[in-house]
Structure 1
Amino acid sequence: MRLAILGATGGVGRHLVAHALDDGHTVTAAVRDPARLPVRHPNLEVVRADALDAASLKPVVEGAGAVLSGIGAAGRRDPLKPASTSARAAVEAMSATGVRRIIVVSAGPLNRSGKGQPFLAARVLSPILWAILKDVYIDLEAMERVLRDSGLDWTSVRPSRLQDGPGKGRYQHAIEAGPNRNTIDRADVARAMLDFVDDPETIGHAVGVSN
């Protein structure tokens, strides 16, 4: 399958590219600065594009079997609101080119009900994180609304606290519930996203993931 990957130079995005190539997919990686993705592979095309602009994304997503986005905020108060802005751009580009499947990275604390999460994470840690990262989470909530309203086949992956380990090669997931453990390696988030591409049960849902 040809996959279009947005945010390919980010923490999750780099793993998306690596896993997708290992799986035998053909990858188009959209990046602002190709020098930040020094990967060479016969099945990889690195394209300079602005993931926040629909016109820039149209040639990236056209013909793709799925779009995967690892885009997130650069800080606690990113004025670009990259999650929701990129979602709008991707939806417009995909609608114009007939591509339907999109999978994005969100965050575990968006599971406001606490369903499926350990008591400490749901009742203690999540409120603290909301107080610290409110603007980031509001942007992610807006992103999920954009996807819900898009009519596309979307999945929002909500990981627990992200770590930079090499990946454990396994993960747990729960549909419309929070991650049931406190951490997950970024490599395993990418693994889950790729696994969900062909999983119809995840379409139209937020999915909690953790190690």
Structure 2
Amino acid sequence: MKLTLFAATGGTGRHLLTQAVAAGHEVTAVVRDPSALGIHGVRADLLTADPAVLRAAVDGADAVLSGLGPRRRADAGILSKGTRAIVDAMQETTARRLVVVSVAGIGLPQPSSRSIGERLLSGLAGIVFRRHYADVAELEALLRTTELEWTSVGVPLLSDDPLTTKYRVAVGEWLPKASRLSRADAAHCMLRTLEQPETVRQTMMAAY
């Protein structure tokens, strides 16, 4: 497949890039410095790039994948703004399939069966990362306004543990005890959705 990848130098993005190339996909990475990647790339800052550059990067792609996310709390807002730029570019081209990384549970109904501990941790996280969670919620809302064939892969706390491919998923519903996942497995899950039509226009969760 012909893939366009955003945020290929990030924690999850690096695994997306490595796994996509290993699987034989033709990959174009949109990054600030493509020379460091050793593959065909487009030099662009997603938030300030000329829209024409982004359109050229996604046009003709079988799928567009984004590992975009904040690296620090001050980056709140980057996810929805960056995804808006990607969506705008795709809607002006032939590209239709979009897979983005999100936060576990946001965009899904919260089950009443969660334990007191899970609710408490969720509440505390909501206070600490309020701006980031609002950004993710805006992302989820944005996707639903488009006609793109999108999938949002919600992940919990990510680690640098190695790839296992042994994780659980839930499509369109809450995944119980979703507390951790490696970045490598998050990338694997995102790529796997490209062969899963049931994930189109769905928010899903992945965790061990």
Q: Note whether the superposition's TM-score is higher than 0.5.
A: yes
Change (3 A) 1:118 1:189: farther
Q: What TM-score do the two structures reach when normalised by structure 1? A: 0.90
**The 10-residue stretch of structure 1 (199-208 or 174-183) with the greater mean CA deviation from structure 2:** 174-183
Deviation, 1:171, is 1.6
What SS does the aligned partner of 1:139 have? helix
Residue among 102, 110, 122 paired with 1:126: 122
Partner residue in 1 for 2:206: 209
Change in CA separation of 1:106 and 1:116 when aligned onto 2, cut-off 3 Å: farther
Return the offset for 1:137. 1.0
Question: Where do 5+ consecutive residues of structure 1 fail to align?
Answer: none
Alpha-carbon distance change, 136 to 69 in structure 1, aligned in 2, over 3 angstroms: same
Conserved 8 A contact 2:108-2:172: no
Please name the residue that 1:173 is paired with.
169
Q: Secondary structure at the match of 1:87?
A: helix
Name the counterpart of 2:197.
Answer: 200
SS of 1:72's partner is coil
TM-score (norm 2): 0.91
Q: Is the counterpart of residue 89 in structure 1 residue 89 in structure 2?
A: no
Count of residues in correspondence between the two structures: 205
Q: Deviations over 1:7-51 (max 9, x none)?
A: 00000000000010111100001101235xx343xxx31221122
Identity among equivalent positions (%) equals 38
1:66 aligns with 2:59: no
1:187 match: 184
Indicate whether 1:101 and 2:97 are aligned.
yes
Does residue 134 of structure 2 align to residue 138 of structure 1? yes
CA distance in 2, matches of 1:116, 1:189: 26
**Where does residue 151 of structure 1 map in the other structure?**
147
One-letter code of the match for 1:45? H
- Once the two structures are superposed, what CA deviation does each residue of 1:88-124 show, in whole Å capped at 9, x if it has no partner? 1111111111110000011014156433985256412
Match of 2:160 among 154, 164, 189: 164
**Structure 2: any 5+ residue segments left out of the alignment?**
none
**CA offset digits 1:128-182 (Å, max 9, x no partner):** 1111111111111111111110111001000111111112222210012234331
CA distance in 2, matches of 1:202, 1:11: 23
Contact 1:77–1:136 (CA under 8 A) maintained in structure 2: no
